[in-house]
Amino acid sequence: MRRETQLHYAAWRRRTLSDLSGRVAVVTGANGGLGFETARGLLSLHARVILACRDAGKGEAARARLLAGFPDAALDLLTLDLSRRASISDFAARLAALAPKIDLFVHCAGVYYPRESRTPDGLPATVGINYVGTVELDRVTEPLLSPDGRAVFVTSLVDRKGRVNLDPLADDEPDGYRAYARSKFLLSGYVFRKSAARIPGEPLYLAAHPGITKTPLLSKEKTGPRPLWSRLGHALIYPFTQSPEKASLSILEAAAGKAENGDLFAPRGLFQIWGYPKKISFSRQVREAVKTHPERFDF
Ligand SMILES: NC(=O)c1ccc[n+]([C@@H]2O[C@H](COP(=O)([O-])OP(=O)(O)OC[C@H]3O[C@@H](n4cnc5c(N)ncnc54)[C@H](OP(=O)(O)O)[C@@H]3O)[C@@H](O)[C@H]2O)c1
């Protein structure tokens, strides 16, 4: 691995992850937080990485930071806004021109509870970005995925809420937590359904959740007003959580570890909040929803 000294958890990385020389990886939401750490991890494995970022300026800044650590890396940047269908199809066309074959597609971009309640296309914002936009991106880029490739989706430990409205066009719930949980429930259901429908010779569909880690996801700049219990809850829990770098290990294991179709990786520690990753099952609630309403997860 190159420049391994700049990364932590070197022994785990050596033990768990494969070399990705000659492989091409796309990471959405790569300008910060978990996406940035995932891109860093993939570069250390010698992958060519394409950063897919909403904001060109933030993307350029991330690219510069990554190149400082990996000066000889093959590292491209494309803009992508998951809240606009036109941007997603435009991205797919630009991606195809840049790299007609993708080996790893890491769908990491997401929002907690954005300030705007609707996307420019009129969808409920949280589900519109975390689920509808993400799945649309998968749909239009799937033809680029190599048959031995992988699509990895970043979900959350809050994906196992009891009853959720499975209609992606239904309004986001009025509090951020429930809207976010529903969006990740639907996303997990999509990956579970998609992996079950895979036929041999097609790319693997996998998911990962990072536990809980302090990133800009819940910052004032990115979220609408949050109730006091939500702000207090996160303030109290953050000291007991892990760094974005450690949290990115479950995503990296799904992307570059020994994985089978339909695997879900998550931290092995208490309540899956922190720790090195392990394989877990999709939640009973997600499996039930897919079993009883498979049509809801078909695109
Ligand atoms: N942090 C946690 O504890 C945690 C736990 C479970 C799951 N996750 C998931 O991990 C993923 C990464 O989150 P994070 O914690 O690293 O937060 P983050 O630093 O805020 O990263 C989110 C990324 O998604 C991008 N994004 C947001 N809206 C977008 C859009 N419409 N189009 C394209 N990109 C968009 C953001 O771009 P901008 O910077 O331009 O906003 C940013 O790059 C998310 O899917 C999140 O749900 C996080």
- Closest-CA residue, ligand 1 atom 45, reads 110
In sequence order, the β-bridge partners of residue 213 are 242
Residue 200 Cα to ligand 1 middle (Å): 32
At residue 64, the 3 state secondary structure works out as helix
**Would you give the DSSP letter of residue 4?**
G
Per annotation, catalytic residue among 112, 113, 131, 180: 180
Ligand 1 centroid, distance to 127 Cα (angstroms): 13
Cα atoms in the Cβ-side hemisphere of radius 13 Å centred on 43: 29
Cα angle 30, 36, 40; round to 5: 120
| Ligand 1 pocket, CB under 6 A | 29, 31-35, 54-55, 58, 80-83, 108-111, 129, 154, 156, 209-210, 212-213, 215-217, 222
CATH tag for 4-289 (out of 1.10.3720.10, 3.40.50.720, 3.90.180.10, 1.10.1240.10)? 3.40.50.720
Residue 28 has pLDDT above 70, yes or no: yes
180 annotated active-site? yes
- CA 83 and chain centroid, separation: 15
Q: Whose CA is nearest to atom 42 of ligand 1?
A: 29
Which residues of 174-230 form beta strands (DSSP E)? Answer: 204-208
Element (H, E) at 131: none
Dist CA 192 CA 284 (whole Å) = 11
CA pair distance 103, 149, nearest whole angstrom: 4
Interval between CA 151 and ligand 1 midpoint (Å): 17
SS3 call for 183: helix
Residue-wise pLDDT for 182-214, tens only, equals: 999 999 999 999 999 999 999 999 999 999 999
Per-residue pLDDT, averaged over 221-230, amounts to 84
Q: How confident is the model at residue 157 (pLDDT cuts 50, 70, 90)?
A: very high
Q: Residue 149 and residue 219: Cα distance in Å, rounded?
A: 34
Strands (E), the chain: 24-28, 48-53, 75-79, 102-107, 145-154, 204-208, 264-267, 277-280
State the closest ligand 1 atom to the C-alpha of 107, by its place in the atom list counted from 1.
45
The average pLDDT across 7-26 equals 98
Nearest protein Cα to ligand 1, atom 7: 156
Q: Is pLDDT at 225 greater than 70 in this prediction?
A: yes
From atom 4 of ligand 1, which residue's Cα is the shortest distance away?
212
Hunting for tokens 């996303």 — which residue is that? 187
For residue 113, report the distance from its CA to the centre of ligand 1, in Å. Answer: 11
- pLDDT value of residue 162: 63
String of DSSP letters for 41-57: HHHHTT-EEEEEES-HH
Q: Above 50 in pLDDT, residue 4?
A: no
Asked if the model's pLDDT at residue 231 lies above 80, the reply is yes
* Contact residues for 4 (Cβ-Cβ < 8 A; gap 6+): 10, 13, 44
Average pLDDT, the chain: 94
